[in-house]
Structure formats: structure tokens, C-alpha cells
Amino acid sequence: MSLVYVNGEFVDSEKASISVFDHGYLYGDGIFEGIRAYDGVIFKLDEHLKRLYSMAKALLIEMPITMDEMKEKVIEAVKINRLKDAYIRLVVSRGKGDLGLDPYKCPKPTVVIIADKITLYPETMYKNGLKIITSTYRRNSIQALDPQIKSLNYLNNILAKIEAVKAGYPEALLLNQEGYVAECTGDNIFIISNGILFTPPSAVGSLGGITRSTVIDIAKQLGIPFEEKFFSLFNVYTADECFLTGTAAEAIPVVEVDHRVIGDGVPGPITNKIIEEFRKVTSILGTKVY
């Protein structure tokens, strides 16, 4: 049994509930954050909360608790469930309204905090690398929805994930409307060519991920040249190395894309070094719980 936070109190996860009139449920009108805890340290909690509250501001969702109060509740969620290594999901919806679309009929947002164990990719995939495909679905246009908003309407990503899983692959790459590489269904993408590390900018339709920014900082500290750049599938197919980053995935190598072998077909030396360094900082860069 685990306890989850719902609108001011911790309740048994089996009994936790929200209204069927909640606009997060009815329309996907809300936002979320995924956060990791490593050995009793919540990784970059402050950065995640700043992003959550920025998204709420952009969507005109008036947060019912302060950022400091939210931080206290996240820490409590980890403690009350006696977790040291955990995945934490913060969900904020527009709240209970009526069956109409009008968000101003939702007087108070719904806040949910879930802290639970995390299921990762198997360790063999970190050692041997992923094989992925490119989805036929295109990333939502940034003119329709800014990629910096982690909306509860994740259907674009889910359809691409379904496509990948049905084809026998764990992940799919999404292109934007112009055919440039954006990101995967739940992860950012990096490629390495001629010793230079590249990742798409937010303008292409990718999320400015917190794991992504950590990897960029690590690359700079290691003296690896780095650029944000628009690039196509050709650049992925012909890259020397490739890897993905995300809260759940951390940093994981990719060795094949659309049946094209990347580099030598094994995780490359720069990728392995970045993964090694990332794992060193996960229990350092954050908020200590215990």
C-alpha cells in the first residue's frame, strides 16, 4: 500500500479519487512533472518545481499552494512511503468544473503527488544500447502547443509509443512538421558527430528537459563541444553516437535507428562517459530527504 497526496491530504492510493467533472480528466487540461529520487535525494527538485509553476502561469492555472509548500509535500510523499529511490509524479489539473469547456468554471485546481518505485529500461539496454524507429506521427506544432508545457493531453506521444511497441521497439523518434528531428515519445535526443555533441533546440518542438540540461552541463565540464542545432534523420543515421535523456530513462545509448546502425553499433565512448558522469551527480544535485 502507498499513500498519495490529493488536494491537501495523504490518502491510500487504492482509495484516492478525483471528480469525474475534473477538467484534467475530461479535457487533459492540466500539467505534470516527473521527478526522480536517488538514495534519499530528490534530483533537482527546485528546477522541476520552477518549471511546474511556470507552466501553470502560462496556462493561467492559479496554484492553490505555494512553491515552498509544494516542496514540503513532495518531500513528505517520499518520506511517508519510506522510499529512497523513487519516481515522483506531480499532477496539477484545472480542477472540477462542468461538462462545458470553460476553464473559468473550475474554481480550484486539483493537485496530486504520487511517489512510487520506478521501473527502468533493463540494464542490458544501457550496456548494449537501444534500437528505435521513427514514428509516422509528427510532433505537435509549436504554434498549436508550446513544447515547454508538459500537458496532460499526451496523445501525440502515446500514439507514437503505440506504433513503436507494436513494431517491436521500445521507443520512437518524432519529427516536427518540417521534418526536423524533435524528440522521442518521452525523451530528448542527442547525437555526436566528429566529436561535437548536438541536440535539437526547443524551437524545433522539443522539451527543454532537466536531464537534458544536466547532460549539457556535464558535456561542458568534460570539454566536449556542444551545439543546439536543427538536424534531420540523415544526421542521425550518419552520427558517430546517439543517446536519449529523460527523467525515467536517465541517459541511455541508441545503437540503431530505422535499421541503420549508429557508429560501430555499440554505445560510443563519449556516450558512456556522459552516462558515467550523470550517475555520479544524481544523488548530489538535489534536495536531501533523509
Cα–Cα distance, 263 to 243 (Å, whole number): 12
Region class of 109: left (phi > 0), else alpha (psi between -120 and 50), else beta: beta
125 half-sphere exposure, CB direction, 13 A CA radius: 17
Cα–Cα distance, 250 to 126 (Å, whole number): 10
Q: Phi, psi at residue 92, to the nearest 5°?
A: -125, 120
- 62 is written with which cell numbers? 492559479
Backbone Cα Rg of the chain: 19
| Alpha helix ranges (H) inside the chain | 23-27, 45-58, 67-80, 123-128, 155-166, 210-221, 233-237, 269-281
Given the residues 150, 161, 166, 288, the one annotated as active site: 150
Cα–Cα distance, 196 to 106 (Å, whole number): 48
Per the CB < 8 A criterion, the answer to whether 44 and 65 are in contact is no
Q: Establish whether 166 is a catalytic residue.
A: no
Per the CB < 8 A criterion, the answer to whether 83 and 114 are in contact is no
Q: Which residues are catalytic?
A: 150
